[in-house]
Amino acid sequence: MSDQNKQSLLEKMRAKLSTRTTPAPAGREAAPAAHGGEACSFKQFADVKKIQIHKAVAKQWNIDSLYFLCHDGLARDTTTIDGREYLNFSTYDYLGLNGSPEINAAVVEALERHGSTASGSRPTSGERPPHRALERSLAAMYNAEDCVAFVSGHATNVWTIYQLFKKRDLVVYDSLAHNSIIQGAQFSGAVRMPYAHNDVEALDTLLTAERGHYKRCLIVTEGLFSMDGDTPNLPRLIELKKKHQCFLMVDEAHAVGVLGATGRGIAEHYGVDPAGVDIWMGTLSKTLCGCGGYVAGCAEMVECLKYLAPGFLYSVGMSPPVAAASKAALDMMLREPQRVRALQDIGRYCLDYARGKGLDTGRSEGHSIVPVMVGSSIEAAVLASRLFSKGVYVIPIIFPVVEERAARLRFFLSSHHTREQVRQVVDLVVQELPQVREQVAAMLEEQQQGDANDMQD
Ligand SMILES: Cc1ncc(COP(=O)(O)O)c(C=O)c1O
């Protein structure tokens, strides 16, 4: 079965999506009434229809939706959904810290002392001790002068890039950079240029050609790529930023707790001085068991964000118990490097075992993210659904999040996973994948036959 055939269903689906039911108004005279009430109906939104079509296709193919499932209790190496226990490979809690007595105690103390909310933005309604305690610890982790924590990791990237870079500037980012980085670059008004994933020579060439045309230039990458599980060449990026007089920003969302002997991230992994990076960004929602994001670097940059970045200035301060949770998680991470070692061990084991069984693990380096490349969105969704029915919870990553041919299952490892659990799930994938391919091929053939019959009628 050719790749073309495999994709036919999705292509048809997309063709339907691109058919707008309402033509764009020709001029200002087109009154809302001329659209038969559609202008005021969310039901008519192309995006609403898109979701409906996705759901209809999933139903037609008998694919369980694995989105928005309600979990009960702590989601670690296992999780409970609707009373059934699953092997869980979809948690960001890399070091299994969530729910630790020490973190819970810090949360309760902050809650009892400060309540559940900061009750307004920090500049105007004031800070609480957990805010600064967290930021000081994060700054210390990078040996940076200061740090500021935002209430959302995604918003941290958006508002940081927006605030620091402007129209006459250039933002170059790895082509696999997270959506929040791209959104921030778009929003900033700077000129944007992606460079080929992890290709420092391509970046050098791009900067040689372009850097001179712009006032300031920002290079953005991730410490550990969230879809592929590979790392950038940080020492070389630092050289390039110096050579071309740029700023360098690294998003450590998936690197903290995972890379380096004590989980300090990509700088520790390479043994380079963190001062080589101008903007250290990270999220609190993964290893650090909270919610929000941070930026660490020089005091002037941090102050600029605190006084001017709209997503900080005009937004509520982090809930004090959440700040206390992340501070306690960071303390535990630094104090218990055996957790980091256990994660690195199981990540490596998973990669080697999966490769040994002939699975395509893409670019993964075996840190904490191991994708299994499946080849098409339909196959990835069917495979994840079949695994779910057999007690394994892993999320398919499908188009448009990744290219269609790069559809995959993405396995997140945690320090709690055992080798036995890894073997169990890899063996299951090896057993199921050929059956999934056959099932999808048969269904597509059936569908093609149906289409041919329709054309004859
Ligand atoms: C690389 C990267 N940056 C930023 C974010 C956004 O962080 P958050 O989910 O904490 O808002 C994510 C989310 O997973 C991410 O993977």
* 183 Cα to the center of ligand 1, angstroms: 12
DSSP E strands, 179-315: 191-195, 217-222, 247-251, 279-283, 293-297
The CB of 180 under 6 Å from ligand 1? The reply is yes
Decide if 313 contacts 283 (C-beta within 8 A): no
**Tell me, what's the pLDDT at 255?**
98
The CB of 114 under 6 Å from ligand 1? The reply is no
Decide if 227 contacts 395 (C-beta within 8 A): no
The CB of 176 under 6 Å from ligand 1? The reply is no
Just give the CATH number of 62-95+337-456.
3.90.1150.10
* 153 Cα to the center of ligand 1, angstroms: 5
* 36 Cα to the center of ligand 1, angstroms: 41
* 12 Cα to the center of ligand 1, angstroms: 32
* 226 Cα to the center of ligand 1, angstroms: 9
**Tell me, what's the pLDDT at 21?**
43
Residue 53: helix, strand or coil by DSSP? helix
Q: Which atom of ligand 1 is nearest to the CA of 222?
A: 1
The CB of 377 under 6 Å from ligand 1? The reply is no
Q: Which whole-number Å values give the CA distances from 103 to 223, 321, 331, in the listed order? A: 25, 10, 10
The CB of 253 under 6 Å from ligand 1? The reply is yes
Decide if 138 contacts 330 (C-beta within 8 A): yes
The CB of 154 under 6 Å from ligand 1? The reply is yes
CATH class of 101-335: alpha beta
* 249 Cα to the center of ligand 1, angstroms: 15
Q: Which whole-number Å values give the CA distances from 119 to 124, 125, 310, 390, 418, in the listed order? A: 10, 7, 17, 45, 42
**Residue nearest atom 9 in ligand 1 by C-alpha distance:** 153
**Residue nearest atom 11 in ligand 1 by C-alpha distance:** 153
Q: What is the pLDDT along the chain (457 residues), one digit of tens a residue?
A: 455 555 555 555 455 444 444 454 555 555 555 565 667 899 999 999 989 988 888 888 888 788 899 999 999 999 999 999 999 999 999 999 999 999 999 999 999 999 999 999 999 999 999 999 999 999 999 999 999 999 999 999 999 999 999 999 999 999 999 999 999 999 999 999 999 999 999 999 999 999 999 999 999 999 999 999 999 999 999 999 999 999 999 999 999 999 999 999 999 999 999 999 999 999 999 999 999 999 999 999 999 999 999 999 999 999 999 999 999 999 999 999 999 999 999 999 999 999 999 999 999 999 999 999 998 999 999 999 999 999 999 999 999 899 999 999 999 999 999 999 999 999 999 999 999 999 999 988 887 887 777 777 6
Residue spans of the domains in the chain: they are 62-95+337-456, 101-335
Neighbours of 199 (CB within 10 A): 15
The CB of 228 under 6 Å from ligand 1? The reply is no
The CB of 152 under 6 Å from ligand 1? The reply is yes
